[in-house]
């Protein structure tokens, strides 16, 4: 892993020792520390290569970057966008927007909740069928 938290911390270990956290690296980068800015930018370029390949394969309109590292904002996203622009097929690079996530630490929980709510009608229908012995599906239920 080149762009993950452990890899970034390992790159900074000779200079900062073992006590540095990714949150601190991001804070220091935003405050102007050149070493931290460099590793965040390098991570952005590495992620940008993967995102460019993704753009070439599925041509997404929107790429949302989340996690602790995304809090670095344009220090991460700028180099990522630059690599996507240089490396992806031109039409894919032109349509793909790369933005920071806004859900923060709640992203996983909210995503799981969205999945549950999306399947709740099917779940309730299956429970009704079990209780009543019916074989109706959600689509054949009256009122649907």
Domain ranges of the chain: 5-102, 105-144
What pTM did the predictor assign?
0.74
Place of tokens 């690079």: 93
DSSP 3-state of 65: strand
In CATH, what class is 5-102? alpha beta
Rounded Cα distance, 27 and 31, in Å: 6
What pLDDT, in 10s, does the model give residues 5-59?
888 999 898 887 778 999 999 999 999 999 999 999 999 999 999 999 999 999 9
pLDDT at position 117 over 70 = yes
């Amino acid at each position: 892993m080149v762009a993950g938290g452990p890899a970034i911390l390992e790159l900074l270990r000779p200079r900062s020792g073992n006590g540095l956290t990714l949150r601190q690296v991001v804070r220091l980068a935003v405050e102007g520390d050149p070493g931290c800015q460099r590793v965040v930018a390098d991570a952005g370029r590495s992620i940008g290569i993967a995102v460019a390949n993704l753009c070439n394969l599925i041509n997404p309109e929107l790429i949302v970057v989340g996690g602790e590292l995304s809090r670095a904002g344009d220090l991460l996203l700028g180099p990522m966008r630059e690599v996507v622009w240089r490396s992806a097929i031109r039409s894919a690079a032109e349509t793909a927007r790369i933005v920071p996530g806004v859900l923060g630490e709640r992203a996983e929980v909210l995503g799981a909740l969205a999945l549950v709510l999306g399947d709740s009608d099917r779940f309730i229908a299956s429970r009704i069928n079990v209780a009543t012995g019916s074989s109706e599906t959600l689509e054949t239920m009256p009122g649907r």
